[in-house]
Amino acid sequence: MPELAEVELARRQWAKHHGEAISGVDVHPKARIYRDCPAPALRILKGKKLLSSKAHGKRMLFTFAPKLHLEVHLGMSGKLSTSSTDHEEQKHDHLIIRTKKAALIFNDYRMFGRIMLHDCADPWAEFPPQPQDPKFSLAHIRKLVGRHPRKPLKALLLDQNACPGIGNWMADEICWRMGIYPGELCANLDPAAVRKETRFVALGALKHVAEKNMTASKDGFAPGSYVENVPPKNWLFQHRWKKGGTCPKCKSELARDTIATRTTAWCPTCQPS
Ligand SMILES: [Zn+2]
């Protein structure tokens, strides 16, 4: 499942074509990604310009008019890419938005991704702050932690209403940097440490994954088949996938178990339970 930095990288693929007018829209009307929005409705984009875009957590919003937005979720295997204007539709290209300069492609072979159209000014006006936003303040974290005293830290981090865009590997990275066992209850946490490390990991992931791969990824970005540039070796990220992986701080062998319904890796020495 793509997390906030991978979603931001995907958004930037299409964002290269801000300002371009839409000359055509090709859809696979029966694809499951259209379960919230009938495919023919997308014809409304023809003749409009792709004005701007933004990401929030695991979602992207592409704006075509002050009250016309296309929301995209990548799901498990969704991929945004761009190609030349003569791009020929591939089997899982469920949406192709064509401009005079490029084809903007949404390819999704498992079809857990989805798209929606919005006809209001800001469909995301009520969304909670993301870890990289200034509004992700200490007061905000104190409230979150206070509201869920019996919730494990890992579950809080994975809650998309609390920490939008944080997924499994980022949650493990945050717990490890805090030196806290992922199953520790919110009541026992220091909100300042939660804020500091959540922001560090979110901003670091954006830097290492979203920014550095813009020049590296030629075929667009596919969650799962990982990008060329990843966080450095002193992050848990580089060690948590490996069998026999060790803690980059103390070299203890990493422990693994299911916490908050997800496979979790942690260092039993640095993060005692
Ligand atoms: Zn350790």
CATH architecture assignment, domain 138-266: Orthogonal Bundle (1.10)
**Residues facing 160 on adjacent strands:** none
* Residue 208 Cα to ligand 1 middle (Å): 23
Q: Cα dist. 215→99, 114, 220, 229 in Å?
A: 22, 27, 10, 10
* Residue 209 Cα to ligand 1 middle (Å): 24
Task: Read off the pLDDT of each residue in 200-220 and give the average, rounded to a whole number.
Answer: 73
Distance, in Å, from the CA atom of 6 to the CA atom of 8, rounded to the nearest integer, reads: 5
CATH code of domain 4-118 = 3.20.190.10
pTM assigned to the model:
0.88
* Residue 271 Cα to ligand 1 middle (Å): 7
Count the Cβ atoms, other than its own, within 10 Å of residue 54.
14
- What are 247-270's pLDDT values in tens digits? 999 999 999 999 999 999 999 999
* Residue 253 Cα to ligand 1 middle (Å): 8
* Residue 36 Cα to ligand 1 middle (Å): 45
Which ranges in the chain are annotated with CATH 1.10.8.50?
A: 138-266
* Residue 198 Cα to ligand 1 middle (Å): 19
* Residue 182 Cα to ligand 1 middle (Å): 14
Q: Cα dist. 250→1, 99, 134, 247 in Å?
A: 29, 53, 33, 6
Distance, in Å, from the CA atom of 39 to the CA atom of 30, rounded to the nearest integer, reads: 8
- What are 69-103's pLDDT values in tens digits? 999 999 888 989 999 999 999 999 999 999 999 99
Whether the predicted pLDDT of 222 surpasses 50: no
**Residues facing 26 on adjacent strands:** 96
Are the CB atoms for 231 and 241 separated by under 8 Å?
no
* Residue 244 Cα to ligand 1 middle (Å): 13
Are the CB atoms for 7 and 58 separated by under 8 Å?
yes
SS3 198: helix
What residues does the ion ligand 1 have nearby, CB within 5 Å? Answer: 247, 249-250, 252, 267, 269-270
* Residue 251 Cα to ligand 1 middle (Å): 6
Phi/psi-derived region of residue 220, left when phi > 0, alpha when psi is between -120 and 50, beta in every other case: left
The pLDDT value recorded for residue 226 is: 46
* Closest to 115 (Cα-Cα) out of 66, 44, 177: 44
Which ranges in the chain are annotated with CATH 3.20.190.10?
A: 4-118
Whether the predicted pLDDT of 14 surpasses 50: yes
